[in-house]
Amino acid sequence: MKTFFIKPAPGRMVRDPDTLEFLKPDGEEKPFTPYWCRRLDDGDVIEFDPNATPAVTAGKAKATDANADAVEKKA
């Protein structure tokens, strides 16, 4: 049976109809059944790729007006 990875949408708590336990906030692998497809279509759960690398948010600082003025003066 085909499976997919899902996690609850922000602010939602979704029960598994078989175990009656809440879906883990970090997500779980579930069978691709009509129940889970309805939850996905209704926006109760979000599909995700567990093998995806997290986006890196660290990087260069934003240019401020002071930095822009300094660059213009050098030019």
pLDDT (average), residues 45-71: 70
Helices (H), the chain: 34-42, 65-74
Residue 3 has pLDDT above 60, yes or no: yes
Residue 73 has pLDDT above 90, yes or no: no
Local structure of residue 11 (DSSP, 8 states): T
11-43 pLDDT, tens digit each:
999 999 999 999 999 999 999 999 999 999 999
Show the domain range for 46. 3-74
Closest CA to 9 of 41, 55, 50, 56: 41
